[in-house]
Amino acid sequence: MITTWRGFPPELKRELSALASDDGLNVPIGELITALLRFGLKEFQHGRLTLTPVQKRTSFTLPLEGAK
């Protein structure tokens, strides 16, 4: 199984990589991420993990005419 994990903050990626490293659990990072995602999904399905959506405000602006 291939697991991709884009969009995670760099600090979290560093912490997870350190946990998976030879000095930590000594497992491939993809296996660790897959295990954590499966655990979280199982807990959510059993109602032991609740997620609260938070709106993210995004704004787009157009450059002034002639500016690049």
Task: Please state the domain extents for the chain.
Answer: 10-45
Is the predicted pLDDT of residue 23 greater than 80, yes or no? Answer: yes
Residues 6+ apart with CB under 8 A from 49: 40, 43
Q: Quick one: pLDDT at residue 36? A: 93
Q: Quick one: pLDDT at residue 7? A: 84
CA angle 36, 29, 55 (to 5 degrees): 50
pTM: 0.67
The tens digit of pLDDT for each residue in 25-63 reads 999 998 999 899 999 999 999 999 999 999 988 888 887
Q: Quick one: pLDDT at residue 8? A: 86
